[in-house]
Structure 1
Amino acid sequence: MTRTTLLVSAAVAASALTLTACTGGGDDTATAPTGPVADASAEPGTNAPPEPGADAPADEGERSAADVMFVRMMIPHHEQAIEMSDIILAKSDIPADITALAEKIKAEQAPEIDQMTTWLDQWGQPPGPRDGHRGHGGGGMPVMGNDMSMMDGMLSADELQQLFDAEGTDAARLYLEQMIAHHEGAIDMAQGEVSDGTYQPTVALARSIIDTQQQEIARMREMLAAM
């Protein structure tokens, strides 16, 4: 073998070794696993934290003293409206449009009483004062307590007795006049809840009371004007 041949063979061998070394280094860099790559190969969503509030109930707000007071006072207020309506419905000589209004008021307010009573039970709160006017006629009518007589729009025992004793057109007119004042008191109470309440369901009920009873007041004034 000549000297030239030996030199060429040595050069080729050196080049092959250099190429192998470079290739091996590149493979190590390309295949080395990293933390993020390993996580990305996992099943989608298995390591992802839940989105804040994804399974949380809608925020209804915390109840406040204003919410509790509104519910405790509105229950007996509604109960008296139903009682007034029962009195007028027990009479046989009342115009049909007024008896229809009385039935409507009962149908609206009875479910609201049930809902408000449920709230008090859920909150562990005692019921509000009762009006104590069941059983009209004669001397057996209980006397209203001071806390009830101070409530917006609530009728006194004497005023309820007047409605009980009235007949015909006089009874119809008195019912409308008393119910207008009663509704105005409820609206005042509901507006206070809208301003001060924090529990959204009770605030929503207050808004509904305002809307419904404002419409009924307008209707009752029309009825009075037509009498």
Structure 2
Amino acid sequence: MRSFTHRTARKFALAGAATATGLLLTACGADDGTSGMDHGGTSATASASASASGSASGSASGSGGVAAAPGAFNDADVMFAQMMIPHHEQALEMAELAEGRAEDPEVKKLVTAIEQAQDPEIQKMRAWLKGWGKPESAGHGTGGGGGHGMAGMMSEQDMKDLAALKGKAFDRKFAELMIAHHNGAVDMAKDERKNGANPTAKALADDVVRTQSDEVAALRKVLDRL
């Protein structure tokens, strides 16, 4: 019994010593690991930051087809974006009025085309201006009176008059106003093609000239029918 007790006590003593040694080694290892992590951690953090920065840059420059326009740009490019954004926004407001008011199938079709084209273009131009470090608005006669100082823009009264109509009367007024509105956009886009420097902005100007000229032709046919 005494021998068993002695052996047991010795076993506990050895186990305790081993545990103490293990704890000491663990503590030393933790110190070394912490030191290593301090040095390596900075690198890991830098890598993570770089990765996050890259992701943020990617989101700002290329998410869902919205990208900053690469290459050089000039004042004409900036003005084109700053003016075309509110111009497109008003076209979308006019298109929104068509819901529950428009009657002609061709008008409804054109309304859908306008919405599908111009909202993404607004997002593109906003991304360009952000990438260029320029404000979205530089006050090109777009304040106060609804921006009617800009080519083709409707006055507040024009918009109220359009909102008061329904059926064929709406279709006719919508076509008349949108023709003027599109012609203004086409003129601005032609100026961009002539005076701009950024290839991406000039490519969008080409799209505006082509698509909105086609829509003007379609709207004139609507007026001929009505």
TM-score, normalised via structure 1 length: 0.65
1:126 aligned residue (127, 135, 141): 135
Q: Structure 1 residues 168 and 73, CA, compared in 2 at 3 Å: closer, same or farther? A: same
Query: In the TM superposition, what is the alpha-carbon distance from 1:61 to its structure 2 partner?
Result: 4.0
The reply on whether 1:221 has 2:191 as its aligned counterpart is: no
* Preserved CA contact (<8 Å) 1:190 1:210: yes
How many angstroms apart in 1 are the aligned matches of 2:205 and 2:70?
15
Alpha-carbon contact 1:129-1:147 (below 8 Å) kept: no
- Write 1 or 2 for the structure with the bigger share of helix: 2
Q: Work out whether 1:89 is the aligned partner of 2:99.
A: yes
Aligned to 2:171: 172
Letter of the 1:86 counterpart: E
2-structure distance, mates of 1:87, 1:63: 36
| Deviation, structure 1 residue 151 | 0.4
- Mapping of residues 4-153 of structure 1, within 5 Å: 61-91=71-101, 94-128=103-137, 145=144, 148-153=147-152
For residues 71-127 of structure 1, the C-alpha deviation after alignment (integer angstroms, 9 at most, x for no partner) is: 000000000001000001232x51222111101111010110010011111111111
- Measured in 2, the distance between the counterparts of 1:111 and 1:147 equals 22
Answer yes or no: is the 8 Å Cα contact 2:80–2:192 preserved in 1. Answer: yes
| Conservation of the 8 A alpha-carbon contact between 1:87 and 1:164 | yes
Structure 2 counterpart of 1:65, one-letter code: D
Give the partner amino acid of 1:97: E
Structure 1 residues 90 and 125, CA gap change in structure 2 (3 angstroms): farther
How far apart are the structure 1 equivalents of 2:204 and 2:100? 29
Per-residue deviation, 1:64? 0.2
* Corresponding residue SS for 2:98: helix
Distance across 2 between alignment mates of 1:168 and 1:210: 29
Question: By how many angstroms is 1:149 displaced?
Answer: 2.1
Percent sequence identity over aligned pairs: 38
Distance (Å, rounded) in 1 between the aligned partners of 2:77 and 2:159 = 28
The residue matched to 2:147 in structure 1 has which SS? helix
Give, in angstroms, the shift of residue 144 of structure 1: 5.1
Q: Where does residue 186 of structure 2 map in the other structure? A: 187
Tell me the matched-pair count.
157
Post-superposition shift, 1:176? Answer: 0.3
Moved over 6 A (4+): none
Give distance in 1, aligned partners of 2:138 and 2:222: 32
The structure with the largest alpha-carbon Rg is: 1
Aligned partners of 1:178 and 1:147: how far apart in 2?
Answer: 14
Amino acid at match of 2:89: E
Q: Is the 8 A contact 2:85 2:122 kept in 1?
A: yes
CA RMSD between the two structures: 2.2
Aligned CA distance change for structure 1 residues 146 and 65 (closer, same or farther; 3 Å): farther
Query: Which residue does 1:160 correspond to in 2?
Result: 159
Tell me what 1:51 maps to.
Answer: none
